[in-house]
Amino acid sequence: MQNTTLGQLKTTNYKSRSVKEELRENLIKQLRGNKAEFEGIIGYDETVIPELQTAILSRHNILLLGLRGQAKTRIARLMVNLLDEYVPYVAGSEIFDDPLNPISWYAKNEIATKGDATEIAWLHRSERYTEKLATPDVTVADLIGDVDPIKAATLKLTYNDERVIHFGLIPRAHRSIFVINELPDLQARIQVALFNMLQEKDIQIRGFKLRLPLDIQFVFTANPEDYTNRGSIVTPLKDRIESQILTHYPRTIEISRQITSQEAKLTPAQKEIEVDDLVKDLIEQIAFEARKSEYIDQKSGVSARLTISAYENLISTAERRMLISGEKNTSVRLSDLAGIIPAITGKIELVYEGELEGPAHVATTLIGKAVKTMFARYFPDPEKAKKSKTANPYTEITEWFTDGNNIDVTDTLTNAKYKKALMAVPSLYDMVKKFHPKLNENQTLLLMEFVLHGLAEYSQLSKNYLNGGFGFSDMFGSLFNAEFDEDENEDDFR
């Protein structure tokens, strides 16, 4: 990088490479050194990443096709790490011309005029990345450029002169990676202009045709939903995008947890709050339940951002409870799940049936299904236990509620009151210790609460959503009271 003139650059035997050759050769070095990885991309080691590497080795333009929240844009951004750290360009060039292979009028004129004394500068790889979100209002001028009448008048040039053009984003991404997110949202005529650049290597602006062999690695992202809801990729353009790579959501709870842990933004104080693995798994299970729910539009998808936001809200709910109670430490409770409902409702697209239920009700349903799914991993199935000839471990618990007792677990309970409330339920502590004897006190209390949630999901207890938590009572008593209330309302109406 000490070289500041074209002549000095030539003495180093520097050789020009296209951006695709650059990516390919640097990837080859990484693969041979077993260092090829996309930092922060989890769960794609055996699927997306190998296909992406193959596309780069083939020097292809790439389309990443998948639902929202599948790390498509992050993958594109990480491709920058495969570029050379610095590359030279003709100083002052708007499109960062290669000194040994200039394509613009400015760079050609500089070299023709100054020869080896032409000044060069160095471009860092972090500056060799351009990203554009496709929206219906994007124009050809935005992407490719337009004629600048002020420049023409100032320099006294005709519109037939290349110098009157004000270059758009794509020419300014010469020798770089150019990403267009949500490609189907671009109007068809704009897509045709892209096709012309990929195929013919020329630019057409207001009837002015300019041969400009731009050197660009194109990466496009698209959501399959877009093909029907908002538009489509025109066939000629799609045909010129050589590799289409399908992304996907995490396939296991473990991978999903790794992503959430990596992406969740917590303060140092929040990181001190104790979070059991059960709660972490429940957060991820909610997303898995959402991805198969009949209330949610599966074509839209359920972003990984749902679990990230939900986890952040979960920790903040526990923190808020701790601050209000004046305690110095706390652990996450299942009642804190009430605080994640806003994170869920903002991340799901409902179908008609879901709209009828309402987003909050759908969110609570998802939480309940996640609890039910996870419950069988920790305790016997309550339905099978009820029919079993052996002793039912839940009998004393449900009978206590049948006798008219109830329990509210909300964010108003201090740690001591939380423990007292759960310990008041007969045999609840003993049952948890029977199946999980090695747990510490906080974990034991969490599982005690978990048992109540599980019994409610198996319709052996009634669970009501309260402000800041949940209330548990007898199933049949709640149904009777509900019917009684309805009758009272009818009498009032009469």
Rounded CA-CA distance 409/334 in Å is 9
Residue 146, domain member (yes or no): no
Query: Tens digits of per-residue pLDDT, 111-128?
Result: 999 999 999 999 999 999
Residue 26, domain member (yes or no): yes
Q: Do residues 296 and 397 share a domain?
A: no
Q: Do residues 23 and 50 share a domain?
A: yes
Query: Tens digits of per-residue pLDDT, 261-279?
Result: 999 999 999 999 999 999 9
Residue 193, domain member (yes or no): no
pLDDT tens for the 494 residues of the chain, in order: 567 899 999 998 889 999 999 999 999 999 998 876 788 899 999 999 999 999 999 999 999 999 989 999 999 999 999 999 999 999 999 899 999 999 888 999 999 999 999 999 999 999 999 999 988 888 888 888 777 777 777 777 766 677 777 788 988 999 999 999 988 888 888 888 787 777 666 666 666 666 778 899 999 999 886 554 455 888 888 888 899 999 999 999 999 999 999 999 999 999 999 999 999 999 999 999 999 999 999 888 899 999 999 999 999 999 999 999 999 999 999 999 999 999 999 899 999 999 999 999 999 999 999 999 999 999 999 998 888 878 889 999 999 999 999 999 998 899 999 999 999 999 999 999 999 999 999 999 999 999 999 999 999 999 998 888 899 999 876 554 544 444 544 444 34
Residue 447, domain member (yes or no): yes
Residue tagged 């007792």 (tokens): 405
Q: What is the pLDDT at residue 208?
A: 65
Q: Do residues 289 and 413 share a domain?
A: no
Contact 388, 416 (CB under 8 A): no
Q: Do residues 62 and 129 share a domain?
A: yes
Contact 446, 279 (CB under 8 A): yes
According to DSSP, residue 292 is labeled: T
Contact 42, 255 (CB under 8 A): yes
Q: Do residues 292 and 335 share a domain?
A: yes
Contact 144, 193 (CB under 8 A): yes
Among the three residues 377, 398, 414, which one is the final residue of a domain in this structure?
Answer: 377
Residue 141, domain member (yes or no): no
* DSSP conformation letters of 196-252: HHHHH-EEEETTEEEE----EEEEEEE-TTHHHHT----HHHHHH--EEEE----SS
Helix, strand, coil abundance in the chain, percent, nearest 5: 50, 15, 35
Among the three residues 345, 377, 409, which one is the final residue of a domain in this structure?
Answer: 377
Q: Do residues 101 and 58 share a domain?
A: yes
Q: Do residues 396 and 312 share a domain?
A: no
The phi-psi region of residue 140 (left if phi > 0; otherwise alpha if psi is between -120 and 50; otherwise beta) is alpha
Q: Which residues contact 150 (CB under 8 A, 6 or more apart)?
A: none
Residue 280, domain member (yes or no): yes
Q: How many domains does the chain have?
A: 3
Q: Do residues 448 and 336 share a domain?
A: no
The pTM for the full model equals: 0.86
Residue 198, domain member (yes or no): no
Among the three residues 332, 348, 377, which one is the final residue of a domain in this structure?
Answer: 377
Buried b (16+ CB within 10 A) or exposed e, 184-223: bbbbeebbebbbbbbeeeebebeebeeebebbbbbbbbbb
Residues linked to residue 205 through DSSP beta bridges, in sequence order? 208
Q: Which domain holds residue 267?
A: 249-377
Residue 147, domain member (yes or no): no
Q: Do residues 450 and 404 share a domain?
A: yes
Q: Do residues 309 and 232 share a domain?
A: no
CATH of the domain at 120: 3.40.50
Q: What is the pLDDT at residue 388?
A: 80
CATH of the domain at 263: 1.10.8.80
Q: What is the pLDDT at residue 425?
A: 94
Q: What is the pLDDT at residue 238?
A: 84
Q: Do residues 14 and 127 share a domain?
A: yes
Q: Do residues 362 and 287 share a domain?
A: yes
